[in-house]
Structure 1
């Protein structure tokens, strides 16, 4: 029976590899990449279990023993703050029979007691007690599965990989970008999750290109100038950088968008200007919260960061945005939006929550509709992917990156 199972796996692998090899350069992905369950499983193995993912801002667990459970595909990750203030990430799977040891979404707990047989775990994942086990049982060998964790500028990143990708380039750029905006001392003002009836890649592809911004996002396009001719954008960006320099701030940028072949995480940080007179991403372009970090005034710009294939960050001088893309099944995903403000800012006193969240709520609701229109369309057996437009260069880069990632088994390099 084992050799039959291996033969089936080999046939599936060969079929996926043929689809990858048959991809037409400069075009979108074929239909199967958006609904095939076996491709989805490979996505989980070679993208999600290989790369780093921002899962939250540490202000969601501010106190010792605070915890929250996060779900990605079939995995449940408990993020905790231990007694010494350190942050841990453990899988919500008992090492005895696999039951969920944490049955609440969030809370405060020194230990997690499995409801099945009462195995008891510290919030760092260590096994504290296992009732009626034999004398030779070693508790130290049966702690909860722990994930790699990095906390940078208040952002909690996790990796499922046994040997995670080198995060040093990403960390450096996060300090040079989010660090200037004061994200380490920020706090979460609002979180909202959008369920999307589409494969996770359709959601990410939509995010990384602005070819659709003009026709699909009139509200966003009134303040963000990404659709202007390149010579106009260059002039606006130069004026923005001059204003930033006059404020005594140096914000980093850099393109380290790379596959995992060399063992390093992918990150790309870039800056772009808002229209003249626009201060922030809001309905009227005016400020929506107190200035953050090193900013004493508005520079009329935005810093955008793409990291690891599923994490996207947007920095305005008065607030920040975390965009998380979360796979749920071959044809469903979630987009979680997290709004950050200065850690001392209070809703109702320093900012109006509705004004703070208006632009990205409107834009994301529009995106959800667009993505689901596309998901239904690509189900057609007659769908043939068309050529990628010049304004979709980030999508083209993302597709090429994705295909390279799923072409290599876990642990494979160049």
Structure 2
């Protein structure tokens, strides 16, 4: 983590609230929101510890006793599947002295043994053994702390909150979108993590707008009409929707992007067209894998889902993408990309991995460069945010949502 030149005053809470109140509508965030340690800590408390996060697809732990370790900021979460097939999310903190009980990135294990004093936990979090403890010690009171878990359309979501936000609307919309694309029966074809030297919000803000797509992503812009203003692609979008409807798929028009004020999670789904003749997100626009879900043909469109502030999903007829944004420090984060394919597809037989991953690998490498350029500029004491462009409407909405979230206790 880089040192920052701003020293937060003692009344940090009032100071942050004043910054929030001073934000001008239609203007980007001021530099403090990207570099102040106190604001970063509030981000962790009011965004990351309040909202649901997609940490991947359940196919990464297909068998009983499979596990994988995930990191988010200072937290470590063990995702497990117990002997009954139930998915659990456990904090990687021994209930004795706090040591990490899971020391491997992934594997298959019936139990986790703390390397410090050998307390032993089942993969459902229960404490199974605590050597040399007194007779009145209650093992049932000292299991690993569990996080709330939801599995929807094959995606695994976790919440750090004691009383998590209602997930019902999210699950319904995920079934109506990703569920129609067959994600529940999909499998992970590839995963790639990109470390980024920038505050996590700069990475997310870059992702949610396509104003930059034309100048920054020539490869993406050759096939995806989103690089144009919406009024210029209205005819393309209308033709796409006709094809989608003919295939029997209706993702609806629900806009459930909301703050946590009412106790519900935020989710927003929308569709947009590919250019005429383009079938999928690939280098040449041609298919890269077998069709998924209810699709019997290509509809020439993309379904995009924004969820909870850190999780973003992209659905093509023949493959899917999960985008995860993970903070690692006030001036650093990670972007993880996860490619999904039909669960029965085999690499080498049904798809070529290089072709499958080409477009979003190139695009994300370009995004990393852009975001880091921006981070270095925003670090300047002379940086003053400018107006949000009309094509950045999703960024404008995201900024408003974010400010309301960190203003709420």
Query: If the TM-score is normalised by the length of the shorter chain, which range does it land in?
Result: over 0.9
Task: Specify the alignment match of 1:40 in structure 2.
Answer: 40
Q: Distance in 2 between matches of 1:399 and 1:251?
A: 25
Task: Specify the alignment match of 1:233 in structure 2.
Answer: 233
Deviation at 1:229, TM superposition (A): 4.2
Query: Would the aligned equivalents of 1:125 and 1:146 in 2 still touch at CA under 8 Å?
Result: yes
Q: Distance in 1 between matches of 2:92 and 2:363?
A: 34
Deviation at 1:9, TM superposition (A): 8.9
Q: Does 1:61 align with 2:61?
A: yes
Task: Specify the alignment match of 2:302 in structure 1.
Answer: 302
Q: Distance in 1 between matches of 2:67 and 2:275?
A: 41
Task: Specify the alignment match of 1:330 in structure 2.
Answer: 330
Q: Does 1:211 align with 2:215?
A: no
Alignment of 1:314-353 (within 5 A): 314-353=314-353
CA displacement, residues 73-105 of structure 1 (integer Å, 9 cap, x when unaligned): 000000000111010000000000000000000
Task: Specify the alignment match of 1:198 in structure 2.
Answer: 198
Q: Distance in 2 between matches of 1:230 and 1:161?
A: 37
Q: Distance in 2 between matches of 1:309 and 1:34?
A: 16
Deviation at 1:233, TM superposition (A): 1.8
Q: Distance in 2 between matches of 1:398 and 1:383?
A: 21
Q: Distance in 1 between matches of 2:405 and 2:115?
A: 39
Task: Specify the alignment match of 1:5 in structure 2.
Answer: none
Task: Specify the alignment match of 1:182 in structure 2.
Answer: 182
Task: Specify the alignment match of 1:91 in structure 2.
Answer: 91
Q: Does 1:79 align with 2:85?
A: no
Which stretches in structure 1 are left out of the alignment for 5+ residues? 1-7, 410-414
Task: Specify the alignment match of 1:393 in structure 2.
Answer: 393
Q: Distance in 1 between matches of 2:145 and 2:253?
A: 36
Q: Distance in 1 between matches of 2:230 and 2:322?
A: 27
CA displacement, residues 2-21 of structure 1 (integer Å, 9 cap, x when unaligned): xxxxxx99611111111111
Alignment of 1:1-400 (within 5 A): 11-400=11-400
Query: Would the aligned equivalents of 1:258 and 1:266 in 2 still touch at CA under 8 Å?
Result: yes
Q: TM-score, normalised by structure 1?
A: 0.96
Q: TM-score, normalised by structure 2?
A: 0.97
Q: Distance in 2 between matches of 1:252 and 1:60?
A: 30
Q: Distance in 2 between matches of 1:76 and 1:63?
A: 21
Q: Distance in 1 between matches of 2:404 and 2:228?
A: 32
Deviation at 1:248, TM superposition (A): 2.5
CA displacement, residues 28-48 of structure 1 (integer Å, 9 cap, x when unaligned): 101111011111000000000
* Superposed structure 1 runs of 4+ greater than 4 Å apart: none
Deviation at 1:226, TM superposition (A): 1.3
Which stretches in structure 2 are left out of the alignment for 5+ residues? 1-7
Query: Would the aligned equivalents of 1:200 and 1:333 in 2 still touch at CA under 8 Å?
Result: yes
Could you say if the C-alpha distance between residues 145 and 9 of structure 1 is closer, same or farther in structure 2, counting changes exceeding 3 Å? farther
Deviation at 1:227, TM superposition (A): 3.1
Query: Would the aligned equivalents of 1:253 and 1:268 in 2 still touch at CA under 8 Å?
Result: no
Query: Would the aligned equivalents of 2:9 and 2:15 in 1 still touch at CA under 8 Å?
Result: no
Q: Distance in 1 between matches of 2:206 and 2:230?
A: 21
CA displacement, residues 302-353 of structure 1 (integer Å, 9 cap, x when unaligned): 0000000000000000000000000000000000000000001011110000
Q: Distance in 1 between matches of 2:218 and 2:9?
A: 47
Query: Would the aligned equivalents of 1:253 and 1:271 in 2 still touch at CA under 8 Å?
Result: no
**Considering only aligned residues, what root-mean-square deviation do their CA atoms show, in Å?**
1.1
Q: Distance in 1 between matches of 2:309 and 2:332?
A: 17
Provide the secondary structure at the position in 2 that maps to 1:180: helix
Provide the secondary structure at the position in 2 that maps to 1:261: helix
Query: Would the aligned equivalents of 2:229 and 2:391 in 1 still touch at CA under 8 Å?
Result: no
The number of residue pairs the alignment matches comes to 402
Could you say if the C-alpha distance between residues 101 and 350 of structure 1 is closer, same or farther in structure 2, counting changes exceeding 3 Å? same
Task: Specify the alignment match of 1:412 in structure 2.
Answer: none
Provide the secondary structure at the position in 2 that maps to 1:179: helix
